[in-house]
Structure 1
């Protein structure tokens, strides 16, 4: 990988496409904020005529994961636990408490923003689906009052510390449901191969 700015000709030659096609894609990347462009003479040698356009990466950080992973959320929750929890708890307990607190705050914020009124199981799960989809859980409504989550955003870290990661995940989603004030729904641990360890389903008492 080069660390200097490159011309359209250099970019085209490196991937075996025409200069015109390279220019098209390079300018699209500039429009997207992934590259920046300027005019200069390569090597610092001044020549008569038009200076070539050169391209170099911006400071934008890009991460692509299929299926979606949310390791940064897990890291953030662990940091919260380290910074805010008291010394009377062990690390795992502190992490679970931090996850529940974060989920509850997010549920409360979503409720304040959307003002959904009283949320029964079906409407409540519809609201929950938005967060679950945003965070890569891939929610699937099997029955009107149950959501299974086809993807674990924290894999493969779950395999390394299942009790800790699944406990935090469960606490996070339970906190969100409680903060959103969804009646008749709870987050339960229900691990299935290839899926998230948590599902959202009916609570013991429907209200």
Structure 2
């Protein structure tokens, strides 16, 4: 398997949207040592080939690392082929500056994929619903600017009363999937603005270098 230096975050998220594959990933995360296909199949009640399929997909997305080891403890002729083993790999450090929230993006995208599979709605529509739901929860946490700051947006109120976001919590994904992430940000911030009691304020797309693509406009005079 060739190594990719810049794995696509969105395809990795999509890989985890499958319920069975997510169960496989969670089992490997919880394991005390690298696991084999047989380990996963036995623990989760899967056919070995199905377990292998999910494990290899996770490895392709660089969510798991692969190693080979003879489990018999023997070596040399007659010792058998080495067993393929899987272990978690760290894709993100836990703290980053400026603040990022790829975990939130992953939850929204996975929820959108799951809902699309259940309802038959286009993923873009279900993502809009998921982002709005998250925005309502964020807006209900308290004062709008304080709540947005907790999620890494770095809101700044300008002289005209509008609010810009100095940071995009989903920056790395937005570089390659701009329309998807900007739409997600707009739906989230519009819902947060409504719930936070910013009567008459409106979230609009207003992209500019060095900041989030959304601006919150003050109520019209």
Is 2:167 the partner of 1:151? yes
Larger Rg: 1
Mapped contact 2:112–2:126 kept (Cα < 8 A): yes
Q: With structure 2 as the length reference, what TM-score do the two structures score? A: 0.53
CA–CA separation in structure 2 for the residues paired with 1:133 and 1:106: 10
Tell me, what secondary structure is at the counterpart of 1:74? Answer: helix
2:155 equivalent to 1:139? yes
- Does residue 194 of the first structure (1) align with residue 210 of the second (2)? yes
Following superposition of structure 1 onto structure 2, how do residues 52-91 of structure 1 map, counting pairs within 5 Å? 63-85=94-116, 86-91=118-123
The match for 1:101 is: 133
**What is the CA–CA distance in structure 1 between the aligned matches of 2:212 and 2:93, rounded to whole Å?**
25
Partner of 1:33: none
Structure 2 SS opposite 1:156: helix
- Measured after TM superposition, the shift of residue 104 of structure 1 is 1.6
RMSD: 2.0
Looking at structure 2, the residues matched to 151 and 62 of structure 1 have their Cα atoms a distance apart, in angstroms, of 18
Deviations 1:161-183 (CA, angstroms, capped at 9, x unpaired): 11111100110011111122321
Give 1:13-32 correspondences, 5 Å limit.
Answer: none
Give the distance between the partners of 1:145 and 1:88, measured in 2 at CA. Answer: 41
Please give the alpha-carbon distance, in whole angstroms, between the structure 1 residues aligned to 2:120 and 2:169: 30
After TM superposition, what 4+ stretches of structure 1 lie above 6 angstroms from structure 2?
A: none
Q: After TM superposition, give the deviation of residue 62 of structure 1 in Å.
A: 6.6
Rounded to whole Å, the distance in 2 between the matches of 1:106 and 1:150 is: 18
- Alignment gaps of 5+ in structure 1: 1-60, 115-126
Q: Distance in 1 between matches of 2:183 and 2:196?
A: 20
Structure-1 separation of matches of 2:134 and 2:98: 23
CA shift at 1:144, angstroms? 5.7
SS across alignment from 1:140:
strand
Higher normalized contact order (CA 8 Å, seq sep 6+, divided by chain length): 1
TM-score by length of 1: 0.57
Cα 1:184–1:161, aligned 2, differ >3 Å: closer, same or farther? same
Aligned length: 129
> Which of 189, 193, 214 in structure 2 is aligned with 1:177?
193
